[in-house]
Every structure is written in C-alpha cells, then in structure tokens.
Amino acid sequence: MLDIPTLRLALGLVSVVVLALFYLAVYRPTRSLFAMWWCIALMCSAASPLLLLLNGSNVQAIANPTSSLVSVVGAASVWFATRSLRGLRPKPGVVLVALVLTLVAAVLDSPATNIWAGNGTLYFFMTGLFAAATLELWRAWRERNGSYDALHDGQARVALVVALCASALLVAYYAMRFALLVSVGEDSDVFATLAGTGPTTLVLLVTLVAVTFSVASLGYDEQTRALRKRIAHDELTGLLSRAAFLDGARQMLKDAGDEPSGAVLVIADLDHFKRINDTHGHGVGDQVLTDFGTALDRTMNKGELCGRLGGEEFGIVLSTTDASHIETRLMRVSDRFRRLATEHSIPVVTVSYGVTAMSGNATLSQHLAQADEAMYSAKENGRDCVVIAGSHEE
C-alpha cells in the first residue's frame, strides 16, 4: 500500500502533467473562459497536496492552512468554469467569504500542531462549491439538450454527463467527510478508512483522470460553439438561420415518428414589405425585420423554434395544436411587433400567417408547402390574419 506522502506527490505530479497538457492543447488554442478556470483548478489541484507534504515541518502552521485555502480556490474555479458554460459570470464574493471563514477556522484550530485544523469548515465549503458546480453542469446539459445546437454537440453533451457524474461524486464524498469529521472525529478508524487522507487522495486522483478528456472536449466545444452559433443565426434578426431552423424542424419530425408531434409549423410573411423598402429605404426595412425578429423571439416558449427563412419570410414551430391558442400566440407576436414599430417611429407592418400541424407521416418539404399555401390564403383573405391548413377558414 502506498504511503500518504507518495499519494500526495502522485496527485500533485499528475495535476501538473494534466495542467501542462491542457494548457498547451486546449487553453492556448481556444483562450476560452472555461479553459482558463479549469487551468486554475488544475494549478490548485497540484499545489494543495504538495503543500501538505510540509506537514510535520517548521512551516506546517503556514503550509497547512494555505493548502486549505488553495483547495477552496480550486473548487471555486471548477464552479466558475461550469458557470462560464452558460455564459454566467463568476461570484467572487461567495468565494471570499469561504476563504475568510476557512482561514479563521484553521487559525483558531492550532495549525502548527493539528494537521486537521479547520477541516470541518473546509469540507463544508468544498461540498457547497462542488454542489454548485454540479447544478450548473446539469443546467448546461438540460439547456443544450433542447437547443438548436443539439444536432451538432453530442460529444460535448456526453462530456457534460461525465463531468456531472464526477462532480456529483465529489459532492457526496466531501459531504461524507464533513459528516464523519463532525460525528466521529478525525481520529476514528471509520473516518480514516472511509474519508482519511489516503482515500481522499485516491478519489481526487481517479476523478481528475476520469474527467480530463471530457474537460478537453468542453474546452474545444466552447470555441466551436461560438462559431456554430454565428453560422446558425441570422445576422440581422438574431433568429435561427434558414438551415438551422429547418434542421431543428426536421429533427422534431424525426422524433415524432409516425405520430402527431403535438406542434405546428408556421410560415409568417410581412405584408407589403417591398413597399417599405421602396418608400422608406432599406435602413427602415432592416429595422422592420429586426423588430419582427425581436417580437417573435420574445414570444417563444422553451422547445419552440423561430428562424428567418429569407427576405421577409419567417418560420415558426409552436408546441401546441389548439387552433384558438395558435391564433392567440401569433396575434400576440403581431401586437408586440406593432408596439416596437411605434417605439422606433417606423411604419407599422402587418403579418400573414399560414399554419399546418406537424406529423411524422409527411416530410418537412410537404409541411412547408402546406404552411406556405395557408399563408397565401391568409394574403387572399385580406392579410393580417392566421389561416390553418385544413380548417374551415382556409
């Protein structure tokens, strides 16, 4: 069985090697926030066990509490890395409180003679920080699973699951360490066997190795995801591009199989838009398109799609098949569109909507043709209205 100093040295050296490889292979090429925070976490993973090698020396009183502080910074960096996956900023105030309380607890617990000084407080904050990271990973996975990009980021979503499992393991382990330390104390055989220095070093070592490739995948995905997002979105309106919208709608049909999808496909066309460009210029026309995109985006629910198909034509997928609800939702878009036009002092433009129920029994091209035909029926019925394919209104 390896002794404690050897295990700590192994953890420190493995962390250094992983840090060097990750920095050169992931952070330098991508410069992503996620990769930066993970590099800091790896630095802390290397420094903390190496500082504990000084236990029993003349500098234990300094090295031991410093190791605890470095551990808190490392766990916080993992949390900040997971927040960056969702575009969220770090929360340094929370970490500052954790650092101060951990330091106070260590100083008051005789660190010169007690190698466990302040560890109860340390384990409490490590549990909380890893729990926060686990929650962010779960939210990131859930958001990606239902996004337009779900067709292209399968590897990243698998990496999120691996990282989520590893983070949850650390939450459970540090919670157990805290509970055992408080209930039976560090001198107990139960604590030494289940949560002592040896088991902890092994858990950290295995966790670090297990998530290395997953974290590298996430680091690269952050760079490519930004590029995919630019490609998948219309530059003017910010909605999905034609290709991304059609991909998303096609996937919804595929998921539905032969059953009704419970959703409808809508073609929306701005009425007399050419007249706006000819009369007021393309600058005003662009503002009209932008305002409609904003109105549309603000009205969508989770799991629904909206994109610009080209020119003044837009595609929408609503997760409802109730005719009155569909009309209410689309008229709400038009009302919001009118309010934005008034705010920006541009001409008010009406919209014609054609709707068809989505089912796996027909191709996307057939659905588009049905919705397009319904939209032209709306034009013929006086514009500024909703026509549902197959309804008595058509």
How far is 134 from 21, CA to CA, in rounded Å? 25
pLDDT bin (cut points 50, 70, 90) of residue 149 is low
Q: Are 163 and 285 part of one and the same domain?
A: no
How far is 266 from 358, CA to CA, in rounded Å? 10
The per-residue pLDDT of the chain, averaged, comes to: 90
Is 393 part of a structural domain of the chain? no
- Least confident window among 60-64, 103-107, 212-216: 212-216
Q: Give 319's DSSP letter.
A: S
Distances from the Cα of 196 to the Cα of 146, 174, 257, 261, angstroms: 41, 11, 53, 54
Query: How large is the average pLDDT for residues 38-50?
Result: 95
Query: How large is the average pLDDT for residues 237-254?
Result: 89
- 4 burial (CB, 10 Å; 0-12 / 13-18 / 19+) is middle
How far is 194 from 211, CA to CA, in rounded Å? 22
Does residue 391 or residue 104 have the better pLDDT?
104
pLDDT bin (cut points 50, 70, 90) of residue 392 is very low
Q: List the beta bridge partners of residue 314.
A: 268, 308
- Least confident window among 59-63, 167-171, 258-262, 299-303: 258-262
pLDDT at position 94 is: 94
How far is 122 from 128, CA to CA, in rounded Å? 10
Cα(first)–Cα(last) distance of the chain, in Å? 79
Q: Which two tokens stand for residue 330?
A: 């689309």
Q: Are 156 and 248 part of one and the same domain?
A: no
pTM over 0.75: no
Q: Are 122 and 185 part of one and the same domain?
A: yes
Instruction: Please say if the pLDDT value at position 176 is more than 70.
Output: yes
pLDDT at position 393 is: 44
Instruction: Please say if the pLDDT value at position 177 is more than 60.
Output: yes
Which domain covers residue 157, as residue numbers? 4-231
Q: Are 178 and 206 part of one and the same domain?
A: yes
CATH number, position 138? 1.20.1070
Q: Are 274 and 218 part of one and the same domain?
A: no
Is 303 part of a structural domain of the chain? yes
Domain edge (last residue) among 231, 263, 296: 231
How far is 334 from 294, CA to CA, in rounded Å? 11
Instruction: Please say if the pLDDT value at position 78 is more than 60.
Output: yes
pLDDT bin (cut points 50, 70, 90) of residue 253 is confident
- Least confident window among 80-84, 141-145, 227-231, 374-378: 227-231
Query: How large is the average pLDDT for residues 170-199?
Result: 93
Per-residue pLDDT reduced to its tens digit, 266-289: 999 999 999 998 899 999 999 999
How far is 39 from 84, CA to CA, in rounded Å? 14
Instruction: Please say if the pLDDT value at position 1 is more than 60.
Output: no
Instruction: Please say if the pLDDT value at position 97 is more than 60.
Output: yes
Query: How large is the average pLDDT for residues 329-345?
Result: 95
pLDDT at position 25 is: 84
Query: How large is the average pLDDT for residues 243-253?
Result: 88
Query: How large is the average pLDDT for residues 202-223?
Result: 81
Query: How large is the average pLDDT for residues 110-118?
Result: 94
Q: Are 222 and 260 part of one and the same domain?
A: no
Does residue 43 or residue 86 have the better pLDDT?
43
Q: How do the residues of the chain divide into helix, strand and coil, expressed in percent and rounded to 5?
A: 70, 10, 20
CA-based nearest residue to 65, from 28, 102, 20, 95: 102
CB 28, CB 43: distance < 8 Å: no
Q: Which two tokens stand for residue 370?
A: 């049905």
Instruction: Please say if the pLDDT value at position 228 is more than 80.
Output: no
Q: Are 309 and 222 part of one and the same domain?
A: no
Domain edge (last residue) among 231, 257, 276: 231
CA angle 213, 215, 220 (to 5 degrees): 95
pLDDT at position 7 is: 86
Does residue 219 or residue 197 have the better pLDDT?
197
Per-residue pLDDT reduced to its tens digit, 350-359: 999 999 999 8
Q: List the beta bridge partners of residue 313.
A: 269, 310
Per-residue pLDDT reduced to its tens digit, 291-328: 999 999 999 988 899 999 999 999 999 999 899 999 99
pLDDT bin (cut points 50, 70, 90) of residue 119 is very high
How far is 261 from 239, CA to CA, in rounded Å? 23
Which is it for the CA torsion 61, 64, 66, 68, positive or negative?
A: negative
pLDDT at position 153 is: 63
Domain edge (last residue) among 231, 264, 285: 231
Q: Are 222 and 275 part of one and the same domain?
A: no
Q: Are 76 and 194 part of one and the same domain?
A: yes
Is 237 part of a structural domain of the chain? no
CATH number, position 359? 3.30.70.270
How large is the C-alpha radius of gyration of the chain? 28
How far is 341 from 276, CA to CA, in rounded Å? 13
Name the 3-class secondary structure at 175: helix
Domain tally for the chain? 2
